[in-house]
Structure 1
Amino acid sequence: MNTNGKHLRQALSVERWENEGGACVKDTPDSQYGRRIERDRSWTIYHVFTGVPVRIGDCTLIDLSISEATDGMLSLNRRNATLRQERSRCQS
């Protein structure tokens, strides 16, 4: 695995920690993520509505392999779906 895969794993771990109350998170459960291929054939995970690459802590999720981008995107979207369900359940 390349260094970017290591950074992706670390970034997702930091995000999980932040979402469990470790620090402030600028993200919301309403965010949705996509992946795109860049000109250099690397992959980026980005916010669907803004097009901006996702930033978790000090790590921007760019220069990824297709499998790293897919796994990261799916993980972030699943996490937000769970947060939306929890928020919906609390509001009922």
Structure 2
Amino acid sequence: MSQELKVRYADVEAAVSKIDSRIGALQTNLGKEAAGGNKLDTVTKLNELNALLQEVGEAYKQILKENNQSVRKTLQELKETDAELSSRIQSS
């Protein structure tokens, strides 16, 4: 039951970098208030929803950043483990 796991490190790093570069382009600001000083219930609710959407957008960006950090850490650990196993196999 010999299966080989191949990781294309450069491809993974490039994909993570691409995500990082596009995180900043995510627009989370939908406008502070719809219809200015209008007091209609619908407008008030829209403003509340806009604020919630902005919070969700910012949280999403943060999760993407944390996920990318986790991927980079895991990738580094895989590289180190691969190098260690390779050196052990070569010294046997």
Q: TM-score, normalised by structure 1?
A: 0.40
Q: TM-score, normalised by structure 2?
A: 0.40
Larger radius of gyration: 2
- Greater RCO (CA < 8 Å, at least 6 residues apart): 2
